Amino acid sequence: MSQGVSTTANSAHVPIAETLGAWCAALEWGDIPPAVQATVPLRILDHVGLLFAGAATDAGHIALAYAKAAGGAPEAILVGERIRLPAAAVALAHGTLAHCRDFDDTFMDSVVHPGSVVVAATLAVAMQIDASADDFAAGVVTGYEVAARIGAVAGRRFHTRGMHATGLVGPIAAAAACARVRRLSAPQTTWAMGLAASMSSGLMAFMADGGWSKWLHAGWAAHGGCVAAGLAAQGFRGPAHVLDGGADLYSAMLHGETLDRSIITAALGAQWRGVEAQYKYYPCAHVIQPYLDALLALVHERNLRPADVRSVCCVIAPWAAAIVCEPRADKLRLESELDAIASLPYQLAHALTERGVGLDALSPAVRERADLRALAERIVHRTDPALGRGFDGAIEIELAANGERIVRATHSASADATRLCGKFELLGAPALGRQGAVAAARLLAHSHDWRTATDILEGA
């Protein structure tokens, strides 16, 4: 029976990873509150839809071809294929695919993308060992919880130092999740996380030229978690002091910064932080989504068209502006799909013109349109240091006809099963057909069994 863990009960000499590993190993599906259990089908639904979307991209084609060419033991199904490959190879491909449209869920405080890593890894391992539905689902919850807590300690500091937080936090979360699916012991779970911490990596270098390394970070993290848990299951020992001790993840990557590591084990089993990961409803950097929601609400309420708008100003936190607004010249010159994903002015210009944002917004033909580029020039930003606790902000629209100024606050989007099913239907329709995608969404939205997802992936 999983119990709440108090940080005051942890002696200074007990490694944090050891306390965390013991909790992960003891967690049973029945211990998880119903509200948290209810998140699992939606996480799986979102992930499977993203696999179909990613499989249609150039990066996805390469990742799938790489996995197939490597061959190996027939352990797990690859999306769109009727062959089985090693679980770690499938996790590598699926994690990459699920992230390569930047359409996956996010923790606001750390900007870690847990789903592409955790669900990819747990699904592959569940197929490999024919896990029970409950063990698989408990693994998903475990991975999200670990990712939330480890990421929260660093906050956005990894990004500030030029590192991609998903690549750093992801392997450890995936290892914990895979260890739980395998029902590893507490020491083995600690070893798995310890091994995976040495696989933590991911530079933000892709920001300069749109390189695809960002997407590989999620796949590599899922792969690393699978490998680490597999080795730990065989008795391969990992270090326990990877979250504390002076040579740990934080000391290495955030040397000299004051951090509160107690967050990792505070109220374990009582406070469920994994549920804080927010879904995306547009293929864009997550900090853009609240502005799209606010703008589109006004577009439909006021029946706005591009000609009706003289200018748009987005009030945004400095940390978010650095990702999606600056340097401004780069955000207006879209040379790659990644540029479009991370451009606030472009995404809002597309939304105002097309009254929505879909995957077509990322295509070269659309992002090079002169009308969208001209409209993006009229969309500016203003930073407000008081913002930043979440994806808070505001959008200010000045109308061309009379100079009227409309202001709308931005908010993080809540989990919406209907909206997620609609997202899945759009992403899955090319592979499953319209009716097939609708039927698959209904099945996934009500099942925490990995076999449901596997049947859909295999039947595509």
For residue 391, what pLDDT is reported?
74
Q: Is the pLDDT of residue 5 over 60?
A: no
Q: Are residues 38 and 148 in the same domain?
A: yes
Q: Are residues 212 and 347 in the same domain?
A: no
pLDDT band at 388 (very low <50, low <70, confident <90, very high): confident
pLDDT tens, residue by residue, 357-377: 999 999 999 999 999 999 999
Q: For residues 66 and 93, is the Cβ–Cβ distance under 8 A?
A: yes
The enclosing domain of 347 has a CATH number of 3.30.1330.120
Q: What's the average model confidence in pLDDT over 129-158?
A: 98
- Residue linked to tokens 């006004």: 298
Q: Are residues 350 and 251 in the same domain?
A: no
Q: If 0-12 CB within 10 Å is exposed, 13-18 middle and 19+ buried, where does residue 261 land? A: middle
**At which of 250, 276, 302 does a domain end?**
276
Q: Are residues 76 and 168 in the same domain?
A: yes
Q: Is the pLDDT of residue 403 over 50?
A: yes
Which pair of tokens denotes residue 374? 């001209």
101, part of any domain: yes
pLDDT band at 12 (very low <50, low <70, confident <90, very high): low
Q: Are residues 265 and 298 in the same domain?
A: no
433, part of any domain: no
Q: What's the Cα-to-Cα distance from 158 to each of 224, 252, 257, 309, rounded to whole Å?
A: 19, 11, 11, 38
Tell me what percent of the residues of the chain surpass a pLDDT of 90: 92
Total domains in the chain come to 2
Q: Are residues 228 and 83 in the same domain?
A: yes
316, part of any domain: yes
The enclosing domain of 131 has a CATH number of 1.10.4100.10
* 23 Cβ contact partners less than 8 Å away, ≥ 6 residues apart: 2, 5, 265, 268, 269
Domain around 350: 286-410
360, part of any domain: yes
pLDDT tens, residue by residue, 314-331: 999 998 999 999 999 999
Torsion of CA 134, 139, 141, 143, to 10 degrees: 180
416, part of any domain: no
For residue 460, what pLDDT is reported?
67
Q: Are residues 255 and 292 in the same domain?
A: no
Q: Are residues 258 and 380 in the same domain?
A: no
pLDDT tens, residue by residue, 213-241: 999 999 999 999 999 999 999 999 999 99
pLDDT band at 7 (very low <50, low <70, confident <90, very high): very low
456, part of any domain: no
Q: Are residues 132 and 152 in the same domain?
A: yes
> Which among 221, 227, 148 is positioned nearest to 182, based on CA atoms?
227
Average pLDDT, the chain: 94
For residue 121, what pLDDT is reported?
98
0.75 exceeded by pTM? yes
